[in-house]
Chains A and B, each alone.
Chain A
Amino acid sequence: MAAKSVIELWLWGGPSQLETFDPKPDASPDYNNGLKAIDTVVPGMKVHEWWPNLAKCANLCSFIRTMTHPHFGHETATYLMQTGRSPGGGIVYPAIGAVMAMMRAKTYSGDLPPYVILTNAKGRFSEVGFLGDKYAPLVTGGNPNQPKFVVDGIVPPGGLTKEEIGVRFDLLSRMDTFGRNEAFADFLTAGKEARRIIEGSAAATFDLSQETDAMRDRYGRTWIGQSLLAARRLVEYGVPYITVNMGGWDSHKRHFETMKQRTADTDKAVSAFLCDLNERKLLDKTILWVSGEFGRTTKIDRNPPWNGGRNHYPRCFSALVAGGGFRGGCVVGESDETASKVVKRPVTPVDFLGSIYELCGIDPDGQMPNNVGKKLTVLPPASSEGRLREIYA
């Protein structure tokens, strides 16, 4: 059975592999700052001490410890991790979310767009590439951790009732008489789709007040907690691809202070999400992947101006995958004693993305329909080590 939905938790900036899924408690404090690893419920699968909740449900997820690519800049690395391609060649490829939106266009029948981003776009490159705006994400804006999560455009403005909105649309239909002909077919279709969202029940998906206080507390009363809760509601609705863009991982300075806070919020949110999905029997058909564009340098930079920071590092970093046909409780790959080098089983972004496509029933080597008149595959060929088949269920 192919996965129905994908949640991408994007840790923008590049999180340190050492303080996440590849802790090195036996290295010197120059590398680990004296911090420890803890056991998880899975024998032999350790996680950094700042992830106590994830440790309790590590059986539901797997760690990739040997992600690797050559790009040290945020944008190029992000482009590679999102598209499986390096920039150039006079063509801009779409990110995985937009590709998935296109591939699922025929089977997904919901009113909400097939690709939703909580809450802000990555913004520094075009996610749709050559695909065009049809497959662009719905970017929610707003803050799910506010008393009311306002998704501008989804919830009627000014407290208008259904009847009042009806009057407005009646008025519009009488006024918009220009060029009532075939030239505007797309305009009319787009209008119908938009009205279905406004007048139907899809908007309630974003209404977090429908959740109990206990449930909201379980995910954590943080931006990431409530974003993942909203993501779970979108999964239940059936949205094929949901990205949660979480910033703040680019910890050149104040690395440990930043990481401690970020990991505490993320640990609580991700573990609640995994357990909740599992309890609802949704985890089997939902993929969660967690990664940034790269990891961080492993030797702590204590010189000014960094004063205890970590810099960009793509040669060896970590990711988490769960659900949707990925087995839990596994560790893929092995890094050296400081998590600086891949020792065993490198995983390229192409291998990684290819696994997600494959588990969604999309052949990564298959044709990618496009409007640029080229014969393109969904991804370039996988590396010799191949996709993550060792952890397919």
Chain B
Amino acid sequence: MESGICLNSAMANSAKCHGMSRRAFLGGTAAFAGAPLFGAAPQGDKTEESVLQNAPWETVFGDATPAVLVRRLYLDLAGRIPTVEEAKSFVRSRNRKGLVDKLLASDSFADYWSMRFCDILRVKSEFPINLWPNAVYVYHRRIREFVKKDEPWTAFTRALLSATGSDFRDAEANFFRASALRTPEGLAEAATVTFLGENYADLSEKKRAEYAKYFRRVRIKNTREWKEEIVYLDPSQDGPTPAAFAEYLFGPARDKFAAAFVQRVDWWMLGLAKPDPAHVAIFRKNGFRLKPLVRAIAMSKAYGRGSVTGGFPCRRLDAEVLDDMICDLTDTKRDYQSIAPEPFTFLPKDRRSILIEDGSISNAFLLLFGRPARDTGLLSERHNEITAKQRLYLFNSGKLFRMLGRITDNKAFRARPLRTIVQDLYWRFLSRPATFDEEEMLLTFFQALPKGGGARWRFSKDVAWSLMNTREFLYQH
């Protein structure tokens, strides 16, 4: 274990996790060819948009352009790309702080980040975690409240570790139920990974025994209500309680406790394999709250770097985020599989994927793109590498082909000049205008297509298809 903060040793090899070379990941200046790198500097009589048409991704200083930054911020803070209006508005205003504050206060932030914390806290109905549906919804709502209200992680940790009661009514009591093994060792394992970022199995035998003793008194019993369970402390026993473990976390283990939390945020936002000590300090100074930490990172110079030469780490988008983006762009409803577990759950078809509370409910797209199983709570459970099967699906799926037709196959869309159509599609998919070069290339490409056949008719759909298959669309960059 490289960092002492174990999120699985795959984490230590973070560059690989992101499907990129370590050099590029760490911000080396990789060779780059074939695209307009250094555009003209902004001039008084030019609009922001036309500057972007020369250099869409990066400024001469290696910083992200406003178009890249707005997309990046929406993806990290709202779990989606901006709409055309939202993107254009930011390109005009460039009010980064205003946008960060707006997004942090939005419901989307709570939706997306509660998904992430539900990954960590293993929120799923069935196997190997058995929360069962009712408890999943109660627990999810509580976790979303923690994010929305920006409760201190210390207070929430204490609540999770000292809760008792019914899984239906006492949401926090589900922390203990969300463990594959409900033995003292199993509960210690869950608590260790969650709060200290350490893999229990890798600890010394002495340490394991020391941690397990905090959980010896935890009991879980059935009630006469179907799938209701009560968490309680065995009154016939003496000795330490899980609440004392919380005090241990805030006392002797406070450095690790803070670092483990920051580690995740740094991983999610910057792809860092180890927590940045400066971020840990910010987290502690702000009362162990999430939002000030996210705000500080989102406003930092490192976060605003370009990804071409600036070293911002590119990573394939989360399965849920990608699913939502494609469904939003094509105005398509979703199809969730929820044959199990009972009682059966029926999600409305307009439910966003990032809002699926239950890790046991999924669909073929989410499985294909590596949504985490929520079995262990390790960050490495989410698979963000790109595979041939994924690219095959994006290239060739009949379902996606029909979905793209919902954008392009209508009269009003096609009645406009080709140049306008191209610009429209670039804004929708990539949150930026097509560059002058791109626009010329596409118009020339169109002119070379045979007249009268299906090729010209299909052209705008093929452009949409191509945009969906670009790295620029599929990656956070």
CA of A156 to CA of B442, assembled, Å: 23
B21 contacts partner chain A, Cβ-Cβ < 8 Å: yes
Are the C-beta atoms of B128 and A76 separated by less than 8 Å? yes
Q: Give the distance in Å from the alpha carbon of A179 to the alpha carbon of B307 in the complex.
A: 8
Interface string of A119-144 (1 = CB under 8 A from B): 00101111010101110101101000
Residues of B within 8 A of A372 (CB): 8-10, 380
Q: Is A90 an interface residue (CB 8 A)?
A: yes
Q: Does A279 contact B (CB under 8 A)?
A: no
A389 on interface, CB distance cutoff 8 Å: no
| B contact residues around A87 at 8 Å (CB) | 127-128, 180, 375
A133→B381 CA distance, assembly (Å):
10
Q: Given A75-B127, A132-B385, A194-B392, are A155 and B449 also a contact pair (CB < 8 Å)?
A: no
A153 at the interface (CB under 8 A from B): yes
Interface residue count on the B side (C-beta < 8 Å): 85
Complex CA gap A73/B388 in Å reads: 34
Q: Is the CB of B337 within 8 A of A134?
A: no
Contact indicator per residue, chain B 168-194, by CB within 8 Å of chain A (1) or not (0): 000000000000110000100100010
A181 to B391: give the CA distance in the assembly, Å. 18
Please judge, given known A-B contacts A157-B401, A180-B35, whether A187 and B362 are in contact too, CB under 8 Å: no
Measured CB to CB, the closest approach of chain A to B182, in angstroms, equals 10
Alpha-carbon distance A164/B24, docked complex (angstroms)? 35
Mask: chain A, 148-186; 1 = CB below 8 Å from B; 0 = not: 001011111110000010011001101111111111111
Within 8 A of B (CB), among A58-93: 73, 75-76, 79, 87-92
- B361 CB, nearest partner CB in chain A, Å: 10
Question: Is A43 part of the binding interface, using a Cβ–Cβ cutoff of 8 Å?
Answer: no
Which residue of chain B has its CB nearest to the CB of A128? B383
Question: CB-nearest residue of chain B relative to A185?
Answer: B21
Kindly identify which residue among A141, A152, A174, A182 contacts B441, using a CB–CB cutoff of 8 Å.
A174
Assembly CA distance A172 to B474 (angstroms): 14
In this assembly, does A147 line the interface, its C-beta being within 8 Å of a C-beta of chain B?
Answer: no
Chain A positions 297-322 with a Cβ under 8 Å from a chain B Cβ = none
Question: Does B25 have its Cβ within 8 Å of any Cβ on chain A?
Answer: yes
**8 A Cβ contacts from B339-391 to A:** 340, 360, 362, 364, 367-368, 370, 373, 375-376, 378, 380-381, 383, 385-391
Residues 272-299 of chain B, each 1 if its beta carbon lies under 8 Å from chain A, else 0: 0000000000000000000000000000
Partner of A133, one of B25, B32, B383, B445: B383
Q: Mark B295-314, 1 if CB is under 8 A from A, else 0.
A: 00000000000011000001
Binary B-proximity of A181-198 (CB < 8 A = 1, otherwise 0): 111111101110111011
- Asked whether B332 is an interface residue with its Cβ less than 8 Å from the other chain, the reply is no
- How far, in angstroms, from A136 to B378 measured CA to CA in the complex? 19
A373 within 8 A of B: yes
B113 at the interface (CB under 8 A from A): no
A199–chain B nearest beta-carbon distance, Å: 10
Q: Would A181 and B32 be within 8 Å (CB), given that A89-B201, A133-B385, A171-B463 are in contact?
A: yes
Is A371 part of the binding interface, using a Cβ–Cβ cutoff of 8 Å?
A: yes
Does B441 contact A90, Cβ atoms closer than 8 Å? Answer: no
Q: How far is the CA of A195 from the CA of B395 in the complex (A)?
A: 8
CB-based contact A172/B469 at 8 Å? yes
When distances are taken between beta carbons in the complex, the residues of chain A under 8 Å from B34 are: 177, 180
A133–B189 contact, CB under 8 A?
A: no
Within the assembled complex, what's the spacing in Å between the Cα atoms of A153 and B340? 27
CB distance from B359 to the nearest CB of A (A): 10
In the assembled complex, the Cα of A183 lies from the Cα of B472 at a distance in Å of: 13
Q: Indicate whether A133 sits within 8 Å of B370 (C-beta atoms), given known contacts A75-B128, A125-B127.
A: yes
B462 interface residue per 8 A CB criterion: yes
* Size of the chain A interface, CB-CB below 8 angstroms: 63
Cα separation A157 to B402 with both chains bound (whole Å): 8
List B contacts of A138 (CB < 8 A).
Answer: 389
A113 interface hit (Cβ, 8 Å): yes
**Cβ of B373 and Cβ of A153 under 8 Å apart?**
no
Q: Is B41 an interface residue (CB 8 A)?
A: no
Is B31 an interface residue, CB under 8 A from the partner? yes
Answer whether A158 and B392 are a contact pair too, CB < 8 Å, given A87-B127, A133-B383. Answer: no
The answer to whether A171 and B445 touch (CB under 8 A), given A79-B128, A90-B199, is: yes
Closest to A87 in B: B128
Whether A178 and B396, one on each chain, are in contact in the complex, defined by CB atoms closer than 8 angstroms, is: no
CB distance from A157 to the nearest CB of B (A): 4
- Once the chains are docked, how many angstroms separate the CA of A158 from the CA of B8? 44
List chain B residues, Cβ under 8 A from A177: 34-35
Tell whether B398 is near chain A: CB-to-CB under 8 Å: yes
Instruction: Determine how close the nearest CB of chain A comes to the CB of B159; give it in whole angstroms.
Output: 24
Alpha-carbon distance between A187 and B474 when the two chains are bound, in angstroms: 10
A157–B35 contact, CB under 8 A? no
Docked Cα-Cα span, A155 to B399, in Å, equals 11
Which of A158, A179, A191 gathers the greatest number of chain B CB atoms within 10 Å?
A179
Contact indicator B391/A190 (Cβ below 8 Å): yes
Which residue of B has the minimal Cβ distance to A86?
Answer: B128
Query: Contact at B19–A126, with CB atoms within 8 Å?
Result: no
B248 close to chain A: CB less than 8 A: no
Q: Do B392 and A154 touch across chains, with their CB atoms under 8 A apart? A: yes
Neighbouring B residues of A90 by C-beta, 8 Å: 189, 193, 199-201, 376, 378
A164 / chain B contacts, CB cutoff of 8 Å: 454-455, 458
Q: A156 vs B458: C-alpha distance in the bound complex, in angstroms? A: 15
Closest to B438 in A: A175
- Asked whether B32 lies within 8 Å of A123 as measured between CB atoms, the reply is no
State which of A89, A172, A179 has its C-beta within 8 Å of the C-beta of B32. Answer: A179
Instruction: Give A171 to B455 CA distance when docked, in angstroms.
Output: 12
B392 touches which of A75, A92, A141, A153 (Cβ 8 Å)? A153
Given the complex, which residues of B lie within 8 Å of A180, measured CB to CB?
32-35
Query: Which one of B314, B367, B399 lies within 8 Å of A139 (CB-CB)?
Result: B367
**Can you list 15 A-B pairs with a CB-CB distance of less than 8 A?**
A76-B128, A133-B387, A138-B389, A139-B364, A152-B397, A155-B398, A164-B454, A175-B463, A176-B471, A182-B31, A194-B395, A197-B388, A197-B392, A371-B10, A373-B8
List of 5 A-B pairs having minimum Cβ-Cβ separation, nearest first: A75-B127, A373-B9, A183-B24, A157-B401, A193-B388
Where the two chains meet, the residues of B that have a C-beta atom closer than 8 Å to any C-beta of A are 1, 8-10, 13, 16, 19-21, 23-25, 30-35, 57, 126-128, 180-181, 186, 189, 193, 199-201, 307-308, 314, 337, 340, 360, 362, 364, 367-368, 370, 373, 375-376, 378, 380-381, 383, 385-393, 395-402, 438, 441-442, 445, 449, 454-455, 458, 462-463, 465-467, 469-472, 474-475, 477
